[in-house]
Amino acid sequence: MTGNFAEACRGSGGTRGCRVLIVALAWALLAGCAVHGSVVVDPAPPVVVQPPPRGYHAPPSVPKGHLPPPGKCRVWFPDRAPGQQPPPGDCEELQYRVPHGAYLIRG
């Protein structure tokens, strides 16, 4: 193979011809690896809407003025008025003290 390449270089004009040949071969190899405008896009997965499980209640909507401050939490009872909710506290303590039917709201 080396002999064929050397002969091709000699026959194509010496070292300048060799450089041109090498550049042409490199270009041809790279062009063969290039993507020619085709993009493969996976289709989006189907959206499955299921009814909520039995006994599920949507999280309560907490008025903006009653949200706990950043880094704090608040136990929220959906059956109580916003002004009758317990005060915000430490999230690590409150996460273990959320009674059945109440929600832990993170600020």
Three-state DSSP at 28 gives: helix
The answer to whether position 68 is within a domain reads: yes
Measured between alpha carbons, how far is 68 from 75 in angstroms, rounded to an integer?
10
DSSP conformation class of 107: -
User: Which structural domain range is residue 77 located in?
Assistant: 64-106
The answer to whether position 42 is within a domain reads: no
The answer to whether position 59 is within a domain reads: no
The answer to whether position 55 is within a domain reads: no
pLDDT band for position 22 (cuts 50, 70, 90) = confident
The answer to whether position 57 is within a domain reads: no
Query: Rounded mean pLDDT of the chain?
Result: 76
pTM assigned to the model = 0.48
Measured between alpha carbons, how far is 16 from 65 in angstroms, rounded to an integer?
79
The answer to whether position 17 is within a domain reads: yes
CB atoms within 10 A of CB 1: 5
Torsion angles phi and psi, residue 73, rounded to 5: -130, 165
The answer to whether position 56 is within a domain reads: no
In the chain, the amino acid numbered 9 is C
Asked if the model's pLDDT at residue 30 lies above 80, the reply is no
The answer to whether position 41 is within a domain reads: no
Q: How many domains does the chain have?
A: 2
Average pLDDT over residues 10-33: 66
Encoding tokens for residue 107?
A: 């600020």
Best mean pLDDT range from 11-15, 32-36, 84-88, 99-103: 84-88
